[in-house]
Amino acid sequence: MARKKRADQPIVIKGASDTPPMAASMGSMEWNKTASWRSIRPVILEEKCKRCMICWKFCPEPAIFPTDPPKIDYEYCKGCGICIVECPFDAIVSEKEGK
Amino acid sequence: MLEIRFHGRGGQGAVKASDILAIAAFNEGKRVQAFPFFGVERRGAPVTAFTRISDDEIRIHSYIYEPDVLVVLDPTLIGAVPLTEGLKPNGKIIINTERESEHFSFPDAENPVVSTVGCSAIALKYGLGSQSAPIVNTAILGAVAKATGLVSIKSIMDAIKERIPTKKEENAAAAKETYEFLR
Amino acid sequence: MKKVLTGNFATAYGAKAARVNVIAAYPITPQTTIVEMLSEIVADGELDASFVKVESEHSALAACIGAQSAGSRTFTATSAQGLALMHELIHWAARARLPIVLANVNRAMGPGWSIWADATDSIAQRDTGWMQLYCENNQEVYDTILMSYKIGEHADILLPALVNLDAFFLSHTSQVVDLYDQKTIDQFLPPYNPKIKLDVNHPRSFGALTSPEHYYEFSYKIQNAQEKAKEIIRKVGKEFGEMFGREYDLTESYRCEDAEFILVNYGTLAGTVKDAVDRMREKGIAVGSLKIRYFRPFPSEEIQSVLKNVKAVGVIDRAISYGHEGPFFTEVRSNLYGSKASLYGFIAGLGGRDVSIMDIESMVDYMKKEQPSHLIWIGVKK
């Protein structure tokens, strides 16, 4: 899946005159890689996975692609662990994040 | 009133350090105030924390703009953020680094008194944190006590044992070692 | 016993010292540690209270209203969006004459999503009949919770109190707080014992349909209670001073007697302004500070007596009523009708922006040099 690159010029707001009327993000969802927030990493065990897609439905981000088998987007997954808890087949396990 | 500003990165314990320093001064009969810079806190992002120590009631509730002392838990912040902004003339800067103080220059500060201590190595010696992320907040407080003379090392060690939930003895010992190391 | 506590912990200790019977609250940054500390205190058996877990702030206040109606002393805490969610029940609690105490951590309303200090949330509850006040430091938060129960539960008052503390500047800032001996506190604050309450042995219905024939008089009585509250606040504040060594009033004057310029303020700004006043006095500027503790009931007598003959008055609002001006400025100005003082309405610190001593000096500088203006935005980046 193609992702837009972050704009070359960082967006700098000087004051009221260039502040937009409402607090709407200007592309930060794309380039703010929330992977850095993770302290645990969910891992899908493909042999156990039944492709029910419950993990994809429950992911709050969403950071799971509804593919066969589902794939976790580790650029954005924040490690909340909901998919681990919700999988009815215990096909997602938790691993410690980090070096 | 003395104003101390702590600079670290999220996860290094700068906020806890500002708190422990306040407790140490309080236990010596001072009035104190401690609080973090209220920005968005993320691991790795710059974190600033403040401690005020006074004999009189502390009424002010704004950030510290003219610190007497700067405590730098992460030397990579030097040059990356306006660290010395507002530092009083002859202000003290205590840096966690293996390098000697002569290595550092602070062109925006007026006659700063710089002290350096390798807190990371000392912290790791006592099993505080990991190789990639040593926890230096307690170790650096020993250096702060020695460099500033604001509080005794005993008060620092007691405050550490009061506020740090685990490895109390190791954290206190790390502070004692940096205190003794700094001449 | 003196301890170093954050504003939130001081709040929790205040509720504990007041021996509240029921606590119902929902977490919201930056209030969460109040409720976390209270749940620990209750779980450890240090406070004999029912801790009710609820699913929203509206339910939290509903639970307090129910429990208070049955004769329990109740406590809750919230902030910004949470306080707004309670709004219809905020009206209810006052109109039902239930002396609940709610600790509100003053936080900005979103969007933009903000967790930082701003008084818009509490000022929006101004007309509901609650007593409403702003704390300058953590000691005052602890003291005020104790006094608010005593004042609210007075038979002639029976009104809830909104105790405000600034987000982060108090809630997460550690300061020295003197915690009093529980025996003395119990002497100061006896158990809650209302004459009218939910009681199966003396059944009543509450909040019944009220026709225009009677509603008007109920309203009149609420206003009377607020006016009487001024007298009780002063009385209890004096009594508190005698028993615990710290006296409180509706307002607090600092170096106003010979002042040419007086800054009217509330919340944590009151502390910073005092330091700024001292600094400016050293430079020969005759400036003083009038801190407003109680916004409701409005301290009209104090404001008139302190401000009427001064040369210039600058009101610092940490909120704005869009379409008009700062809310405290509006009220102070209308209260000074007929006075010859020059009036300046400063807006500062919205959304948690820090207000420094230099900012305050710039306000007095403005008052010296510029014509009176009802709306001056301090520090806005154009």
CATH code (residue A89): 3.30.70
Contact C380 A15 (CB under 8 A): yes
Distance from CA of C51 to the nearest CA of B (A): 26
Residue C43: phi, psi to the nearest 5? Answer: -60, -35
Residue C309 lies in a domain: yes
The answer to ipTM > 0.90 is yes
Pair of tokens at residue C239: 């009594």
DSSP per-residue codes, C308-366: TT-SEEEEEES---TTS--HHHHHHHHHTTT---EEEEEE--GGG----HHHHHHHHHH
Residue C333 lies in a domain: yes
Q: CB neighbours of B172 closer than 8 A, spacing ≥ 6?
A: B138, B156, B157, B160, B161
Domain match, C25 and C163 both:
yes
Q: Which of B52, B59, B158, B163 best probes binding to C when mutated, by most C CB atoms within 10 angstroms? A: B59
pLDDT above 70: percentage of residues in chain C: 100
Q: In this predicted model, what pLDDT tens digit does every residue of C49-103 receive, in sequence order? A: 999 999 999 999 999 999 999 999 999 999 999 999 999 999 999 999 999 999 9
CATH code (residue C358): 3.40.50.920
Burial (CB count within 10 angstroms: exposed 0-12, middle 13-18, buried 19+), residue C106: buried
Q: C111 to chain A: nearest residue by CA? A: A23
Contact A16 C381 (CB under 8 A): yes
CATH code (residue C80): 3.40.50.970
- Domain B2-181 in CATH 3.30.450.20? The answer is no
Q: A20 to chain C: nearest residue by CA? A: C112
DSSP state of B81: B
- Contact (CB, 8 A) for C374 and C345: yes
Residue C189 lies in a domain: yes
Q: Does B1 touch chain C (CB under 8 A)?
A: no
| Domain interval for residue C258 | 251-377
Distance from CA of A76 to the nearest CA of B (A): 15
Q: Which of B42, B44, B132 sits opposite A99 (nearest CB)?
A: B132
Q: Which of C9, C173, C265, C363 best probes binding to B when mutated, by most B CB atoms within 10 angstroms? A: C173
Q: C381 to chain A: nearest residue by CA? A: A15
Euclidean distance between CA atoms C146 and C189, whole angstroms: 7
Domain match, C171 and C273 both:
no
Rg for chain B, CA atoms, rounded: 15
Residue C13 lies in a domain: yes
Contact B34 C357 (CB under 8 A): no
Count of domains observed in chain C: 2
Residues of C in contact with B36 (CB under 8 A): 172
Please say if the pLDDT value at position A9 is more than 60.
Answer: no
User: Which of C212, C244, C276 is the C-terminal boundary of a domain?
Assistant: C244
Please give the model's pTM, rounded to 2 decimal places.
0.92
Q: Which of B22, B35, B60 sits opposite C275 (nearest CB)?
A: B60
Q: What is the mean pLDDT of chain C?
A: 97
A6 pLDDT band, cuts 50/70/90, is: low
- Mean pLDDT over B33-39 rounds to 87
Number of CB atoms found within 10 A of residue C24's CB: 24
Residue A1 lies in a domain: no
Q: Which range has the worst mean pLDDT, B41-50, B73-82, C272-281? A: B41-50
Euclidean distance between CA atoms B74 and C232, whole angstroms: 54
Contact C169 B61 (CB under 8 A): yes
Euclidean distance between CA atoms C340 and C225, whole angstroms: 32
Q: Judging by DSSP bridges, how do beta strands A64-65 and A71-72 pair with one another?
A: antiparallel
Pair of tokens at residue C334: 């209308």
Contact A36 B43 (CB under 8 A): yes
Residues of B in contact with C357 (CB under 8 A): 60, 62
Residue A28 lies in a domain: no
| Domain interval for residue A86 | 50-99
Burial track B3-27 (b if 16+ CB lie within 10 A, e otherwise): bbbbbbbbebbbbbbbbbbbbbbbb
Euclidean distance between CA atoms C322 and C53, whole angstroms: 36
Euclidean distance between CA atoms C251 and C234, whole angstroms: 10
Contact A37 B44 (CB under 8 A): no
Residue C141 lies in a domain: yes
Q: Give the residue from B19, B141, B29, B67 showing the smallest Cα distance to C6.
A: B19
Domain match, C119 and C262 both:
no
Domain match, C25 and C124 both:
yes
Residues of C in contact with B151 (CB under 8 A): none
